Each structure stands twice: as structure tokens, then as C-alpha cells.
Amino acid sequence: MIGTVLCYVLLPLVRLLRAFQDAFFTCRKNVLLAKSPTAHLDGLCAPVSGKPVSEEQQALLQQWLEEGAGGLHTNESASKGTEKVSAVSAAEWREGPELLMTSLSDLNISPQSGDQEQPQQMVQTELPPGLQEFVETTLANLPAEGREALGDNALWAAVRTQADPPVVDAAPLSTEVWIEDPAVLAWSPAQETEGISTEGVLWPFQNAGQFQPLPLEIPYHEILWRDWEDLSAQACIPEQSSEAQGSLFEFRVMSYNILAQDLIEQTPHLYMHCHPDILNWSYRLTNLLQEIQHWDPDVLCLQEVQENHFWEQLEPTLMMIGFTCIYKRRTGRKTDGCAICYKQSRFQLISASPVEYFRPGLDILNRDNVGLVLLLQPLLPETLGDKAISPLCVANTHVLYNPRRGDIKLVQMALLLAEIDKTAKMADGNYCPIILCGDLNSVPDSPLYRFIQNGQLYYHGMPAWKVSGQEELCQNPHQRKLLTPLWPSCLGITDGCQYAALCQSKKSDRRKYSRDFLLQFHYCDAACERPADLTLLEGVTDAIPDRPAYWPKELTVMNNTDPERFHSRYPGNIQHGLNLTSAYSHFLPERGCPEITTMPMGVGATVDYIFYSAKPIKNDREECRRMFRDGALKLLGRLSLLSEDILWSANGLPNPFCSSDHLCLLASFGLEISDF
């Protein structure tokens, strides 16, 4: 009894108090917390009754509990405490005697740590009481629209519907059990190993000769309902084809910060609101993989991918469902990084360029963040053998978090844009279609966001903490200001975010102006006018040049495709010419509130993006977001994001259903296919 009171009332209260002291340090956050319904706060850890749980919810929950509790399963042979769980919070939670008995080490899965003598038997288990009630509470708190989703569609949690597959030895996924279920077919070895040798590949959870397959047959379940927004009616689809959609190469792009496990360990105070079981990597991995498999992207940009998790689990598993993955770890001692995975049936890799932002000796680039830029060739079906399609440039990054150091964030972005410029520039000087995904740790309409969207930013004199717009996260904004130049010329990047070396090759030819630029003077009005005092030579100086019809009447002094355009013409200004716009609008019109992609310390914000290249529309109001219309790349749809209040009602992020502190972004694109 005392234990129960301790566990359910006192401990959560203590944790709440600590959370207030520790995490919610700014006035802004306190105001926000005060505004949120108390039920949400109560619901953080303690079981809250009194709110009716709908029949559907009850049924769902019952199913969830009966069928093995969110993908957690018992490996009887697992030894205790081998899986690191958020050290601080797990210790606190386990003080309750019931929780002690059902602690994660009992539930967990680390097959490598198992006693080899014991049979590798997988046994279904019930949720630990704490988590069970926590899930009930979370479901009870869901607002009406969240509940509507529970009816027919898939849910968002790791819900097991079949008996666990037996643990098998090193052979990858060769067990009979799986393949009968159509949902498992996508994972069957026949598909996954096509053309790929599986020898030497470390399969998921395989270690020391043992292999514990993922519970791959689990259907994906969606509890926090996210609408699919179909935008194909708005997209301007080429007219030449009667079957408009047929002239597009359609593909889906997902961007997902999956929350590195090491970062949970390093900043446990950020996850005080979470039951430790849901922070367990095995639990999260299962949920994350199911979510990815459910939405089935063709290009997957992941951030915060821990290196060992990538090589041992994510990469082998994603390979099994047809992805090829490229990974770039952060520099220094950071253990996570960015990955771009693409379906090898849809794309072929042309080039891959990792970008390290750390530059020794440069204060403005003394952080360990990275980016990755790929050039992919879309693979058209054989029936379209006579058609052509341009390559696609895909970039992924996780920019510095520190809200006070917007100056560093901007320079990191400039480095990535320079690499994109180099990768995406075609032989004719134009760019191929570009997709830029990432966690930019900057909010919409912040100076950094406007720089990407508007193609230019006047930064001189701007306080560094303003750049990312995360003002509420700035405890003591220093008065560090951005000064011209933002980065030294030795970095080799121009103010136009291009590699100076690429521009200099022109200079070394001693050509100050490009040929196209000079050609414009050929038939300009001044050149066509015969000077009055010119000596008349018949057939020579009396000839009036014919201006070709297509020749411009007026000189265009700026040649848009000319890289020289971006040489430091405007001090205190940076530019880029990639014409990028966001796939998301950052606003939920139906709810009348902002979309959010993450909830650092309980405050909702958008910091994750999918940008894509489009055609700018002339807009006189320079201070506004630049407007675009679709070019060769068309935005066909996107998975709607959620509002802060909905996520509050699900206990913030991560929660039992969303296993990262970020939501995934998903957008569908169509790339124009042309005739040869």
C-alpha cells in the first residue's frame, strides 16, 4: 500500500517538482504550463481516473495489453540490467516494488546477454503496472479527434497480434511463421536479398551467433491521428499528357529525428515525463521501424541516428525492406549522425557527399554537426524506356541546437548549401530538383528559415540568439552580434553559399564576365545606333544589324545562372540561388494553431523541415516569405502534423505511441518525366 502510494503519488509529484525546477526555467514556459489543462499535468506519470475512456479506446487498450504490450516481449534468458535505460529515471521508477518485479531488465530483449544454456523462448508479457496505467491515462486524455482515429484505421503503437516468432540462429528471417502473413511478405528474405549477398551482414539484434528478429508482423497502429493532405489538385501537373499523373515520377520523402539513445542518457532531465519503459531502445526501435514501414517512404532522411544502432539494427533492417542507406556520423565524441536511405528499386546513387561543419581553428565552426548530400537518379519503369528524368539532389542535416548560437547555425547552413549547389548543378548551369530535409533547430519565419526560403538574409548587427527564433529557450541571451563577414574567406565559401574554388576557375581564365553576359551587349540599343560621325564605308559601316527576335531588348545586368552574381556584392548579406520552399505550411488552418514537430521541455515548436526546389513568383513585398509555384518537382501531398494541445494530451513526446521527441514529416512529390 505504502509502496503504491509512493509509486503513484509521491514519486510523480517529486518528479514533477524537479521537472519544474530543472526544465521549465523560463517565464514563457511557466506561462504555457499554467495554460495547459491540469489533467495533462496530472497525466504525466500518475494514473488519472475520472475521465471516461471510450468503448473503442477500451477495446483497443485491451487488445494492446492482451497482445503483448507495445512490442515489448520477454526473453527469459535476458540477464538483468544489460540494456541501458535512462539511468536516473529508471532508478526512480523501480523503487516501487511492483515495478521492481517487472522492470525492464525482465522485459528486455538483449539476446546477446542471454544465458546460452537456457532455451531462447519468447514469452508474451503484460505491461508493467506503471506503464499500463500510464497508457490508459494517455488514451483517456486524447481529445475527441484523436479518438476518432481509433475506429477503423491502423493505430500508432507497437501492437502485437500474433505470437512472437521464435528466436532463430544467424539465418536471416528464414522462419516459416512469418511468411504466411501478407504483412510479413515485405520482409521476406526473397525480396530483401535480391541481388544482395547477405553474408557478413549483421542482422537486427544479431550478436554472438544469435539472431532475434524484430516483431515484423506487427500491424502499424495509429492512435495520434494524422491526416494525409492531398495536394495534387493544387500542383501544376504538365498538360502534354492526357494521363497527367502518368507523366510524373512519384515518390515519398520522410524526415525523422529519431532521438539518439545516448542523448537520452546524457540529458535525462528532458525526459522526466516519460515512463522509463517507453524510453527503452528496443521498445523505441520497434515503434520507429513500424512507423517507417507503415508510411513506406522512398527516401528516408534520419537524424540523431546512433552509430552502433545504425550498423547493428537500423541499416540491416532497412536493407531488408529495400533501402540502401548512407550514414554520416557527427565529428568529435558525439555518437549519432545523419542517414539518408533510398529504395534501391526506385533510385540509383550517383554521388554521396558527407559534410562536416567542424573546422579546426575556426570559432564559428567549432561544433560537431554534420550533413549529407546525395545525388540520386530516379529509375523509370521499363515501360517508359524512351523517357528521360532528371537526377534528384537530396540533402539531410541536423544543425546545432544551442539557441544562443544562431551565428554558428547560419554558417553550418551555408556550408550545406554550398555542397548542395555543387552537387545539384548540372552541366548547363541549372540546378536539378532539390530536396533538403533536416532538423534545423530553428523555427518558421526565423532569420535562418527566411534565409533558406527567401534566398537571402541581411544579417549584419543581428543578435546571434535571434537567428533561430528559439527565444523562449534562451536563458541568458548574450549580446553576441553577427558581424560582416560572417565567415572568413579562408573557408572557401562565397557570400552566395558557393564554393569559391568553383567560381574561381572562371576567374583563372581571366574572364571577368561570362560569355552570356557579354553577348547581351551585341544587339543592345546603344550598339545598334550608328554614331553620326562614323565614316561611311559602303557595305561595312552602313549596315544595320538585325536583332534576332528572341534577343532581349533590354540588358539583363544580372545573369541569374552566373555564379559571379553572388560574389560579395552586398556586405552583411548572404544569398543562395537554390529556390527552396517548405513542403509544410507550419499552420493548421482547421485548428487555427501552429503545426509542431517537437516539444522541447513541453513547448511545441517546428524545427524539422522538408524543403524542395520550386519556381519563385515575383513578390513585391520583400519582407514577406517568398512565394513559389511548382517547377519540375511537384508537391502532391503530405502527412499533417499535430498541434501542441493534442500532443500535450498524449503526454508530450516521446509517448507510448510516438517513440521520438520529434514527429516524422512525410511528403509526396512528383518529378516531371520528359521525352528524350
Q: Which residues bind ligand KL2 (CB under 6 A)?
A: 257, 263, 267, 270, 401, 439, 441, 598, 600, 607, 661-662
Q: Cα dihedral angle (332, 446, 434, 192), rounded to 10 degrees? A: 50
Angle (CA) 621 626 632, round 5°: 140
Q: Nearest residue by C-beta to ligand KL2?
A: 401
What type of residue is 92?
E
Per DSSP, the three-state class of 349 is strand
The 3-state secondary structure of 572-629 reads CEEECCCCEEECCCCEECCCCEECECECHHHCCECCEEEEEECEEECCCCCCCCCEEE
Phi and psi angles of residue 411, each rounded to the nearest 5 degrees, phi first: -70, -35
DSSP letter for 497, please: S
The nearer residue to ligand KL2, 441 or 659, going by C-beta atoms, is 441
The nearer residue to ligand KL2, 456 or 655, going by C-beta atoms, is 655
CB of 666 to ligand KL2, least distance (A): 18
CB of 402 to ligand KL2, least distance (A): 8
The nearer residue to ligand KL2, 19 or 270, going by C-beta atoms, is 270
CB of 241 to ligand KL2, least distance (A): 41
The nearer residue to ligand KL2, 414 or 607, going by C-beta atoms, is 607
Which residues are CB-neighbours of 318 under 8 A, at least 6 positions away? 292, 300, 325, 341
The nearer residue to ligand KL2, 626 or 662, going by C-beta atoms, is 662
Give the bridge partners for 574, in sequence order.
457
Phi and psi angles of residue 329, each rounded to the nearest 5 degrees, phi first: -80, 150
Give the gyration radius of the chain's Cα atoms. Answer: 28
The nearer residue to ligand KL2, 271 or 487, going by C-beta atoms, is 271
CB of 473 to ligand KL2, least distance (A): 7
Measured over the CA atoms of residue 639, residue 645, residue 647 and residue 652, the dihedral's sign is: positive
CB of 625 to ligand KL2, least distance (A): 23
Q: What is the DSSP string of 543-575?
A: PPPPPPTTS-SS--SS-TT-GGGGSS-STTEEE
CA atoms of 419 and 403, how far apart (whole Å): 24
The residue to which cell 515548436 is assigned? 605
| Helix-helix angle 447-454:406-424, to 10 degrees | 20
Set of cell numbers at residue 104: 525492464
CB of 298 to ligand KL2, least distance (A): 24
CB of 303 to ligand KL2, least distance (A): 7
CB of 469 to ligand KL2, least distance (A): 13
The nearer residue to ligand KL2, 87 or 527, going by C-beta atoms, is 87
CB of 442 to ligand KL2, least distance (A): 10
The nearer residue to ligand KL2, 113 or 306, going by C-beta atoms, is 306
The nearer residue to ligand KL2, 655 or 668, going by C-beta atoms, is 655
